[in-house]
Amino acid sequence: MKLTWQDSEEIALALLAAHPKVDPLTVRFIDLHRWVTGLADFGDDPKQSNEGILEAIQMAWYEEFRDQ
């Protein structure tokens, strides 16, 4: 099953695996969007994201990053 914009926790884990040393709070939304849509398991419409969705993904990623 492909990831969608609503799968912020799963996307966060995939981003952590792909970019383990990157502090998520330093990533610009334009880069975050590119990284999310570039994930092999991502299958949603790239145009369906917005600032709120990207922020939720970034915060979920940050929590995982902090806990590692």
pLDDT category at 5 given cuts 50, 70, 90 is very high
Which tokens in the block code for residue 64?
A: 């995982």
Under 8 Å between Cβ of 2 and 43: yes
Rounded Cα gap, residues 24 and 1, in angstroms: 25
Query: What's the confidence (pLDDT) of residue 14?
Result: 98
Q: Domains (ranges, CATH) in the chain? A: 8-67 (1.10.10.600)
What are 10-65's pLDDT values in tens digits?
Answer: 999 999 999 999 999 999 999 999 999 999 999 999 999 999 999 999 999 999 99
Which tokens in the block code for residue 34?
A: 């590119």
Query: What's the confidence (pLDDT) of residue 1?
Result: 85
Q: What is the value of pTM for the model shown?
A: 0.96
Could you tell me how far CA 28 lies from the centroid of its own chain?
11
